[in-house]
Amino acid sequence: MTTPTTPNAGGAPQLTGTLLLPESGTPELLFIYLHGVGARGDDLEPLAQAIGHYYPQAAHLLAEGFEPFDQAPFGRQWFSLQDITETNRPERIAAVVPRLIAEIEATRATFNLAPQRVCLVGFSQGAILALEAAQAAHGLLGHELAGRVLAFSGRYATLPEEPPTDTVIHLFHGMADPVVPARHSVDAGEHLVALGGDVTADVLPKIGHEIPEALMRKALERLQTFIPRKVWEQAVREAEAAESRTH
């Protein structure tokens, strides 16, 4: 089922865009898609359909950027790239992250799902915001924004000083990306590993600034097989406790 979302008149505004719901039953997971600059939410529908095939009880929100694209008469953007530099990029992103976090929280509340049941999926500018929002959320909310982030062709404005709390970060990039160089995902992955974060980084050759089938398959593989550190450590503790009781 497909339906447009609208602001919540009774509370905080929600993200707007196209909502894909399960064929039947109540959604058990929520995937929120953040598109690249100059694009529209529906551009990420092929990725949503691929993920939905394996998660039939998930809802998928193809969110629309906050502003009309200011360099063409079509498309949307989350923040302007006019005159952007490495110096002013963090400030531009920081200006929109609190709004994004608030609207993701309001959207999640309508489904009555825990944050761990939410996955943020971003491409390019959307991936940047997904990473930065997940990083900032615990300080603003006191809890995680999402259980997982799938960041395609993205980057951090500034590498974080600590890993996001209770959020698994999955980074995907093409080695031939001419827009956001793949080194950003490599550097971020190595940095988060060094900080003790839950992170994977998949960088594939002969892929540019895009989400081809090969990266979609990698994303599905990570979603289905990666075990977060906290879950693994808890399982180890339980196994050790059970073993000690038998001796």
Active centre residues (catalytic) = 124, 177, 209
Token look-up 């190595």 returns 190
Cα–Cα distance, 159 to 138 (Å, whole number): 16
Instruction: Decide if 160 contacts 190 (C-beta within 8 A).
Output: no
DSSP H or E run through 94: helix 89-111
Q: Are 153 and 164 in contact (CB under 8 A)?
A: no
Token pair belonging to 123 = 């491409």
The single-letter code of the amino acid at 55 is Y
The token duo for 13 is 């505004």
* Other CB atoms within 10 A of residue 53 CB: 9
Pairing of strands 17-20, 58-63: antiparallel
| Tokens representing residue 126 in the block | 């959307």
- Residue of 182, 84, 183, 79 whose CA lies nearest to 132: 79
